[in-house]
């Protein structure tokens, strides 16, 4: 059996909510990616700051993960979608870690605008097997899921 780990970044806790649901079902390891400088709790400030940085492909510094990723065959990768892309902290993680030979099973939380998120994950993991991603949609500015709960449960069963 393949050893799995859930790796995720969260801002509004939507991605964390799904990561914890997966952990509960699979009983596997979990790792939250955190930036060295935490994002502001002011959502509008974060939107303005990150929107201004987007064109530069800014990658924030992330905290040391202190986990040997070599012991895992599969990475269940959770990211919010920021400007139709994986969140910058996830892009940092993928840029800094060699995931060659691993299977990446991505999911993305968003308000309905997935953009090029999964394609970019594939580009950032050229020597990994990146499986089709699960798009998990929440109602804007809400914890209310738009994606059917059963669809999420069914996807988790495939992991």
The confidence band for 45, taking pLDDT boundaries of 50, 70 and 90, is confident
Domain that holds residue 39: 4-158
The average pLDDT across 61-78 equals 96
The domain that contains 71 carries what CATH number? 3.40.50.360
Neighbours of 71 (CB within 10 A): 9
Q: What's the mean per-residue pLDDT of the chain?
A: 93
Q: Quick check: helix, strand or coil at residue 123? A: helix
Q: Is the pTM of this model over 0.85?
A: yes
Q: Which of 79, 84, 78 is nearest to 51 (CA)?
A: 84
Contacts of 80 (CB under 8 A, 6+ apart): 9, 10, 11, 12, 14, 15, 87, 108, 109, 110
* Structural domains in the chain (count): 1
Per DSSP (E only), the strands in 9-133 are: 29-32, 74-82, 85-86, 103-110, 129-130
pLDDT higher than threshold 60 for residue 1: no
What's the CA gap between 33 and 108, in Å, rounded?
A: 15
**pLDDT tens digits, 94-147:** 999 999 999 999 999 999 889 999 999 999 999 999 999 999 999 988 899 999
User: Dihedral sign, CA of 130, 126, 39, 43?
Assistant: negative
Burial code (b: 16+ CB inside 10 Å, e: under 16) for 115-149 equals eebbebbbebbeebebbebbbbbbeeeeeebebee
Per DSSP (E only), the strands in the chain are: 4-8, 29-32, 74-82, 85-86, 103-110, 129-130, 134-137
């Amino acid at each position: 059996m393949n050893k799995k780990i859930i790796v995720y970044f969260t801002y509004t806790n939507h991605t964390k909510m799904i990561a914890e649901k997966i952990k509960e079902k699979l009983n596997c390891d979990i790792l939250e990616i955190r930036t060295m400088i935490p994002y502001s709790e002011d959502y509008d400030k974060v939107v303005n700051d990150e929107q201004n940085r987007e064109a530069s492909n800014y990658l924030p510094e992330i905290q040391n993960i202190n986990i040997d990723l070599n012991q895992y065959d599969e990475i269940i990768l959770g990211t919010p979608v920021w400007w139709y892309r994986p969140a910058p902290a996830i892009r940092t993680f993928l840029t800094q870690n060699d995931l060659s030979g691993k299977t990446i099973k991505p999911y993305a939380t968003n308000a309905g605008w997935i953009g090029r998120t999964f394609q970019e994950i594939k580009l950032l993991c050229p020597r990994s097997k990146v499986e089709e991603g699960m798009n998990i949609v929440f109602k804007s500015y809400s914890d209310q899921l738009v994606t059917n709960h059963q669809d999420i449960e069914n996807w988790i069963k495939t992991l």
